[in-house]
């Protein structure tokens, strides 16, 4: 199923983090690009025409720009503060993808997810936080780790966009049941077969429906739920790493630390110190669809 998931998405090519004081210029170019606004004010432009204002927490996916129609003006700009205002910090996470995003022509040339919609998706919020953590540390291997997060980042973005355009259409009740179980019992040793049985579907049918509705395979979503819960506990509690490991379904502090570092790009203790030092929080509680 992981192979099937990966084949459905274009490969992430580049990933970067800009931070500091604008103005900046960010070219989307001839490849599809995805941008997450962490701090600052941005605008999306086409030539001299302003298309979209972006605020902190927003995410925008921009389709490929054909070479023959490319404008000499950058399509994404970071606005400087207004005259007389104190310069403010800004941060932007950007990624490009090789090949067309299949759903973009049918949806829109630009997909914009406001901050509230990004927070609504536990998986998307988690991937954004993990990507930010990986890019914040320029150590060896971090760029490769960040690039590995680009396919699930794109998958969750497209799923959230579909959900928003469906007017909040309810998730299939059987899939919703599996989502609730993962949230309520993250320590359970879930398998795709066990989740399918709880949902009242065959393993194959469940895996197909879950991927179609959530944008990622079941166990990848479960990992996102566990990592979000772990990150929140690290920032908001003084619990030991061993206690948090048990809370999110790991047998030992070592196994948890290894898994967390693989996904977040840094050890749990370092993540806790950094987020607390920045005065940050990990995001809102996970909300699952009603059964």
Q: What domains can you pick out in the chain, each with its CATH number?
A: 2-165 (2.60.120.10), 173-278 (1.10.10.60)
1 closest CA partner among 196, 174, 278: 196
Residue that wins the pLDDT comparison between 116 and 284: 116
Beta strands 11-20 and 59-62 are unpaired
**Is it true that the peptide bond before 76 is cis, omega within 30 degrees of 0?**
no
- pLDDT at 194 exceeding the cut of 90: yes
Q: What percent of the chain has pLDDT over 70?
A: 72
The reported pLDDT for the residue numbered 49 is 57
Kindly tell me if the per-residue pLDDT of 140 is higher than 70.
Answer: no
Q: What's the average model confidence in pLDDT over 49-58?
A: 76
- 206-230 pLDDT, tens digit per residue, is 888 887 776 668 887 888 788 878 8
Q: Where are the alpha helices (DSSP H) in the chain?
A: 2-7, 104-107, 115-120, 122-136, 142-148, 150-165, 173-184, 192-199, 203-214, 218-236, 241-247, 253-264, 268-278
Q: Which helix (H) or strand (E) holds 78?
A: strand 76-78
pLDDT tops 60 at residue 64 = no
User: Who has greater pLDDT, 269 or 6?
Assistant: 269
Q: How far is CA 239 from CA 33, 151, 242, 260, 276, in A?
A: 39, 32, 8, 16, 14
pLDDT bin (cut points 50, 70, 90) of residue 5 is: very low
Higher pLDDT, 209 or 93: 93
């Amino acid at each position: 199923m992981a192979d099937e998931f990966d084949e459905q998405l274009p490969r992430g090519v580049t990933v970067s983090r800009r931070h500091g004081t604008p103005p900046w210029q960010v070219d989307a170019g001839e490849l599809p690009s995805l941008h997450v606004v962490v701090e600052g004010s941005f605008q999306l432009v086409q030539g001299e025409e302003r298309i979209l204002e972006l605020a902190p927490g927003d995410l925008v996916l921009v389709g490929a720009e054909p070479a023959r129609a490319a404008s000499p003006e950058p399509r994404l700009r970071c606005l400087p503060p207004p005259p007389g205002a104190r310069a403010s910090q800004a941060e932007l996470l950007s990624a490009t993808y090789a090949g067309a995003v299949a759903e973009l022509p049918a949806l829109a040339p630009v997909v914009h997810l406001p901050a509230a919609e990004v927070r609504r998706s536990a998986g998307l919020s988690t991937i954004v936080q993990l990507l930010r953590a990986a890019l914040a540390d320029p150590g060896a291997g971090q760029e490769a780790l960040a690039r590995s997060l680009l396919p699930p980042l794109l998958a969750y973005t497209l799923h959230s966009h579909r959900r928003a355009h469906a007017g909040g259409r309810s998730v299939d009740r059987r899939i919703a049941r599996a989502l609730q179980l993962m949230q309520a019992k993250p320590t359970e040793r879930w398998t795709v077969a066990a989740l399918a049985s709880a949902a009242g579907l065959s393993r194959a049918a469940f895996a197909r429906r879950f991927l179609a509705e959530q944008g990622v395979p079941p166990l990848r979503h479960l990992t996102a739920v566990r990592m979000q819960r772990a990150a929140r506990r690290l920032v908001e509690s003084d619990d030991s790493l061993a206690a948090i490991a048990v809370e999110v379904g790991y047998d030992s502090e070592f196994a948890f630390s290894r898994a967390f570092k693989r996904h977040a790009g840094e050890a749990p203790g370092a993540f806790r110190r950094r987020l607390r030092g920045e005065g940050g929080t990990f995001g809102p509680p996970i909300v699952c669809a009603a059964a």
